[in-house]
Structure 1
Amino acid sequence: MNRFFHQRPKVLSGMIGTLIYCLVVFPIVNTGVFNTKAMAQVIDTDALDAEAPSKEIATLSKDEKKALVESGVAQYEQGNWIEARQTLEQAREVFPENFAVPYYLGLIYLKEGQRSAAIAEWQHYVAMDPESENSMKIRKSLTLLLREQAEEYARRAIANEATLTGVPLAENTIAVTPFKNLGSADLGPLGKGMAAMVIHDLSQVGDLQVVERIKLQVLLDEIKLGESNLVETQTAPQVGRLLRARNVTAGTLADLEKENLQIASAVVDAEDDKTIGTQEVQGELKKFYDLEKDIACSIVEDLGKKCSDMPKAFGKVHTESLPAFVAFSQGLEHFDAEEYDAARDKFQEALDEDPDFDLARAALIATPYSAMMLMSTSQLVSSASATGVSSGAAGGAVAASAAGGISLGTTAAIVGGAALIGGGAAALGGGGGGDDGGGSSDAPDVAGNWRGTWTDSDGNSGDIVLSIEQSGTSLTGNAAVNGSECISTGTISGTISDTTLNVTITSGTDRASFRAPFSENTSDINGTFDFEAGACAGDTGSFSMTQTETGGADVSW
């Protein structure tokens, strides 16, 4: 396998490091066969502190990291759940780009009855391995787990409602409730579809936490606001307190005349019990997508932000097809009623009308089959265990992309809300530099997606993708790298000036710096890189990249 850069021998220190070297390196050299059983015996999980990895564990080589993962999965396959959890929790600290780790930790946590921890691990897995067949299955299981969690939360919150009064709420939180239909019956389903689009758009705002749609809907059902009454400005404060959201929207839809639509909304401060802003737009029903963007923009402005500073993904039109929008909205109604097969039919109908309707595709992927509702937790675990990567291949289960097209932000409207991606602008799919994305007019705009190739000083080469977000001269984002044993995915930090681009890719303990001359009007960059830290420290090379129109670092190789 090609290395990103030439690998130099490393000196292992400490007793654990020496034992690992003896039992990992020698079998590889002498037999070419890796002994995961022996590795499991050497890395004694009882002797390791799961909360704070030892120095020896923290500085494992690439092969040793792979061995640690393979050992943990082998322990799981043998039924040693406790040992497997301890080993894989260690692996999570030193090999964060390996997606077998959160996959199996999710299974173990489910076995142990730790549903919230299992959800968090599987959401992380889905983000790392978004387009795999196994990821598609896990998303359906996640929906069922999230609904169970939301139902428990709603019951607990309502039971303890009296104790929540007067408790401060976080400033940067918002719950977007369905729009109540005040017009003809034909508009009925559109309120949920409109809210789902607004939820997705607001989840692109970096410092804003948006309540998950499932969590919100289940609560509304519990307090009998989920059907005809919905949420109004008078009931919004109660909803906000129960959801621990400072801001709550309450909105309506109405057709003033044939083929015309009016949308009205208000943002209510749940802590101070007052309306902080109102929004109202009207226009042709067939231009519903423009009206939705106007409402989302107005909400952002009433929250004290500038719509012009939002990332590019915020302004992306979800669909221009009214039939697709109607089918999607009807699918959400079936989804909320747990009529999953009917929901899947409607989401598929929306995709048939508009194959580029990402929200509908995400909804279809995330919607379970109705038969899955009859599965017990042990059956769910057994089903997922049967399709997981084997122990022999687990060490190489490295994410080719930190995010893939639809799996993050777009799933938010249906499954995990902003919680799936930690809120906002962490979602890939476009940055937002220059005057349109929070950048400074004095800095060149490099926000967006860049693809190209790298070559190290030993002649090894591969592909690289950067998905860059920009605020002034500061750069953030995500990277995906092919052909490297040191970095496969990582986070981006850096700066841009009138003459120079500086980007650092960090993946665990590995860190590489990329530098290139830059001019305002170029869409091509050529520069050099060097590894500053990690297993490849000291290695150098060159790279060449071109800005593209495709979305995000959704790379398959």
Structure 2
Amino acid sequence: MPARPLIAAGALAAALLAPLAARAQTSAPQTSAPQVVAVLPLHVAARDTVLAPLGFALADFLSTDLARSQRLTLVERARLGAILRELALAASGLVDSATAPRAGRLLQARTLITGALTRRVDGEIVFDARLTDAPTGRVTSGLSGRASLANVLDAEKSLVFRLFEQLGVQLTPRERALIEERPTRNLSALLAYGQGVQAEVNGQYAAASRAFRRAAAADPGFRQALSRADAARAQAVRASGTALDRVNKPLELTPSTLRPGLAVDPSLGGSQQAEITITITTP
């Protein structure tokens, strides 16, 4: 009678556990990478100088509120401003099916949130927002609403919760509580904050810092404005330092750069290197 093959204990255990492991893997919740989202400034008609900073402020608050969810990753503000300036969209934030794919690639964002603010004759503010799939330029949904200027932040909260629904994001109770907080209820502070965001998007960091500080002065409890003022000032210092590094780079005068007959300043002592220093003072 032929001998029956022996099965090693380890192999036998693996054979018995394999179906269980397969079922556990199938039933385990699937985790996906966070969606990358960019919120562009809300477009406002050029003639409405009061609403213009409000469009920047509300877009900034939308970005802050959307970032409360761990399911979403928001494009950093500094990167957003740099790309918008490159695309000449800093002033309007307007993105259509033609510009969306390039904007999405540069921002490395799958979804672009754009919108507009208009003011009716009776003073009521009308919101229009939409989600655009960046690779295709296809508008996946549109949202609208309206509110008085005094209640504009309440409308922003309503809008952000609807955006979460459209993005398929379920919020935890803690995330929802954080989103429902109002950073300020002072309209003057809100408008000054919007001016700061607008200046920041345009790369004017010193002006942004001053505007954020005006917002904090109008509402001392507006902690977000004060932190943004400090961040903008630090960015202004870094930007001026980079400019100084470029300006103060030694100028090498080599024979290839000197034209025949070019006179050399005797005060240089015959040296072919000159250094120019310019000091820039920022507030």
Please give the TM-score of this superposition, normalised by the length of structure 1: 0.35
- Once the 2 structures are TM-superposed, how far is the Cα of residue 351 of structure 1 from its aligned partner? 0.8
Q: 1:248 to 1:229 in 2, by over 3 A?
A: closer
- Once the 2 structures are TM-superposed, how far is the Cα of residue 229 of structure 1 from its aligned partner? 5.9
- Once the 2 structures are TM-superposed, how far is the Cα of residue 247 of structure 1 from its aligned partner? 0.8
Question: Which residue does 2:84 correspond to in 1?
Answer: 220
Q: 1:376 to 1:175 in 2, by over 3 A?
A: closer
Question: Which residue does 1:181 correspond to in 2?
Answer: 44
Query: 1:299 and 2:166 equivalent?
Result: no
SS in 1 for 2:233: coil
In structure 2, distance between residues paired with 1:237 and 1:359:
32
Paired amino acid for 2:35: N
In structure 2, distance between residues paired with 1:298 and 1:234:
26
Aligned 1:369-408 pairs, distance under 5 A: 370=236, 372-376=238-242
Aligned 1:184-203 pairs, distance under 5 A: 184-203=48-67
Contact 1:301-1:307 at 8 Å conserved across structures: no
Paired amino acid for 1:368: R
The partner residue of 1:287 within 117, 137, 151 is 151
- Once the 2 structures are TM-superposed, how far is the Cα of residue 308 of structure 1 from its aligned partner? 7.3
- Once the 2 structures are TM-superposed, how far is the Cα of residue 298 of structure 1 from its aligned partner? 1.3
Question: Which residue does 1:344 correspond to in 2?
Answer: 209
SS in 2 for 1:227: coil
In structure 2, distance between residues paired with 1:284 and 1:230:
24
In structure 2, distance between residues paired with 1:330 and 1:191:
10
Paired amino acid for 1:291: A
The partner residue of 2:218 within 353, 358, 380 is 353
Question: Which residue does 1:166 correspond to in 2?
Answer: none
- Once the 2 structures are TM-superposed, how far is the Cα of residue 373 of structure 1 from its aligned partner? 3.1
- Once the 2 structures are TM-superposed, how far is the Cα of residue 232 of structure 1 from its aligned partner? 3.8
Q: Please, which runs of 5 or more residues in structure 2 have no aligned partner?
A: 1-32, 246-283
Q: 1:322 to 1:313 in 2, by over 3 A?
A: same
- Once the 2 structures are TM-superposed, how far is the Cα of residue 341 of structure 1 from its aligned partner? 2.9
Contact 1:248-1:268 at 8 Å conserved across structures: yes
- Once the 2 structures are TM-superposed, how far is the Cα of residue 221 of structure 1 from its aligned partner? 0.9
Query: 1:367 and 2:232 equivalent?
Result: yes
Contact 2:34-2:70 at 8 Å conserved across structures: no
- Once the 2 structures are TM-superposed, how far is the Cα of residue 174 of structure 1 from its aligned partner? 0.7
Paired amino acid for 1:365: D
- Once the 2 structures are TM-superposed, how far is the Cα of residue 237 of structure 1 from its aligned partner? 3.2
- Once the 2 structures are TM-superposed, how far is the Cα of residue 215 of structure 1 from its aligned partner? 0.8
- Once the 2 structures are TM-superposed, how far is the Cα of residue 355 of structure 1 from its aligned partner? 1.3
- Once the 2 structures are TM-superposed, how far is the Cα of residue 281 of structure 1 from its aligned partner? 1.2
In structure 1, distance between residues paired with 2:62 and 2:114:
12
SS in 2 for 1:188: helix
Q: 1:266 to 1:328 in 2, by over 3 A?
A: same
Note the alpha carbon deviations across 1:140-192, whole angstroms, 9 max, x for none.
xxxxxxxxxxxxxxxxxxxxxxxxxxxxxx76111111100037232112111
Question: Which residue does 2:106 correspond to in 1?
Answer: 242
- Once the 2 structures are TM-superposed, how far is the Cα of residue 378 of structure 1 from its aligned partner? 11
RMSD (Å) for aligned C-alpha atoms: 2.5
Question: Which residue does 1:262 correspond to in 2?
Answer: 126
Aligned 1:135-214 pairs, distance under 5 A: 172-182=35-45, 184-214=48-78
- Once the 2 structures are TM-superposed, how far is the Cα of residue 269 of structure 1 from its aligned partner? 1.4
Q: 1:171 to 1:351 in 2, by over 3 A?
A: closer
Contact 2:183-2:224 at 8 Å conserved across structures: yes
- Once the 2 structures are TM-superposed, how far is the Cα of residue 293 of structure 1 from its aligned partner? 0.7
Q: How many residues align?
A: 210
Contact 1:236-1:249 at 8 Å conserved across structures: no
Paired amino acid for 1:177: L
- Once the 2 structures are TM-superposed, how far is the Cα of residue 317 of structure 1 from its aligned partner? 1.2
In structure 2, distance between residues paired with 1:175 and 1:361:
24
In structure 2, distance between residues paired with 1:305 and 1:371:
38
Note the alpha carbon deviations across 1:331-375, whole angstroms, 9 max, x for none.
122223333332222111111111111221121121126455332
In structure 1, distance between residues paired with 2:74 and 2:172:
20
Q: Please, which runs of 5 or more residues in structure 1 have no aligned partner?
A: 1-169, 380-557
In structure 2, distance between residues paired with 1:277 and 1:302:
8
Paired amino acid for 2:42: F
Q: 1:179 to 1:232 in 2, by over 3 A?
A: farther
In structure 2, distance between residues paired with 1:189 and 1:232:
22
Paired amino acid for 2:220: P
In structure 2, distance between residues paired with 1:337 and 1:262:
25
Note the alpha carbon deviations across 1:521-553, whole angstroms, 9 max, x for none.
xxxxxxxxxxxxxxxxxxxxxxxxxxxxxxxxx
Paired amino acid for 1:247: T
In structure 1, distance between residues paired with 2:243 and 2:49:
40
- Once the 2 structures are TM-superposed, how far is the Cα of residue 248 of structure 1 from its aligned partner? 0.7
Please give the TM-score of this superposition, normalised by the length of structure 2: 0.67
Q: 1:209 to 1:261 in 2, by over 3 A?
A: same
In structure 1, distance between residues paired with 2:159 and 2:132:
15
The partner residue of 2:181 within 310, 316, 330 is 316
